[in-house]
Structure 1
Amino acid sequence: MAKESFTLEEATRKLEGYCAYQDRCHKEVIKKLQDMGMIPIAVDTIISHLIKENFLNEERFAKSFARGKFNIKKWGKQRIIAELRHREISRFNIQTALKEIEGTQYQITFDALAKKRLQQIKETDIQKKKKKLADYLLYRGWESHLVYDKVNELVG
């Protein structure tokens, strides 16, 4: 079956909707256009249109990504940074995005997450319990110095 083809106008409208639905990073939009079979010059034309018309804004994407992953998924800064880097977001925009996470709220969330997870760990061996709690918090991207201080405070 032949791949569906789009005119520049159709692809532009389609991507405006794609970006209006949810903030996107440049990498996602380029991938979407390539999957649609658009040639590189068309990709560049559409990307510049989306930026000019404010459908595509990497700083806005980074900020909403950081807020969402912190507030909803309870990710720490390390995981957020890694995920934004994976999406090829600039260092400047990553730093700007991290400012969306308020310091005291970060501590409160971390404390609550650690305590909640500790309640769920049924392990009786103190060392294994500490390791399970630390692994969970590190996987979620919380800074190691915070994790180890919290584990020693809560367990043992």
Structure 2
Amino acid sequence: MHKTYTLQEAKRKLEGYCAYQERCHKEVVAKLREMRMIPEAIDQIVVHLINENFLNEERFAQSFARGKFNVKKWGKQRIVNELKSRDISKYNIDTALKEIDETDYLKTFDDLAEKRLTQINDKDPQRKRRKLADYLLYRGWEPHLVYDKIKQLVP
């Protein structure tokens, strides 16, 4: 038996959900569907959360970009793709990327590439280059940065 929620209970529950951590609209709607709320109630609650500033997609995107860059060392491409998968608008994605300082971005990239290279125990330079490229590209760093760095690090 699933618990049923009144509109007020669901509002309060989602206020807590959004206050705990920045959320995007898609996550909030998914949570409400999980709670078996009807579409009209979902719309009402989402509007309430936006009006009360519990839900703000621009703020979510900025926080997401800062966190994934600072903590997980993701490049801009991965951040953009992840935000797109959450249905974040191009405007909010562009705003979010402005949260990342260009100097920090390039320094983080250099540090990450050099650190990863020391962890690759392969004597063959071709395989070494491929492993480093795969690692950096998977993390969402731009291909031109990756290949220039590899030329520099693994001659």
For 1:100 and 1:22, the matched residues in 2 are separated by 18
- TM-score normalised by structure 2 residue count: 1.00
Partner of 2:43: 44
**Percent identity (aligned):** 68
1:111 lines up with 2:110 in the alignment = yes
Rounded Cα–Cα distance in structure 2 between residues aligned with 1:86 and 1:123: 35
Q: Which residue pairs with 1:124 in the alignment?
A: 123
Matching residue of 1:77: 76
Give 1:24's aligned residue.
Answer: 23
User: How far apart are residue 113 of structure 1 and its match?
Assistant: 0.1
- Alpha-carbon distance in 2 for matches of 1:15, 1:37: 13
**DSSP-derived class of the 1:124 partner:** coil
Q: Number of residue pairs matched?
A: 155
1:15 counterpart SS class: helix
Gaps of 5+ in 2: none
CA deviation map 1:48-71 (0-9, x unaligned): 000000000000000000000000
List, as ranges, runs of 4+ consecutive aligned residues in structure 1 with deviation greater than 6 Å. none
The alignment yields a C-alpha RMSD, in angstroms, of 0.3
Cα displacement (A) at 1:3: 1.0
- TM-score normalised by L of structure 1: 0.99
Note the 1:55-74 alignment, pairs <5 A. 55-74=54-73
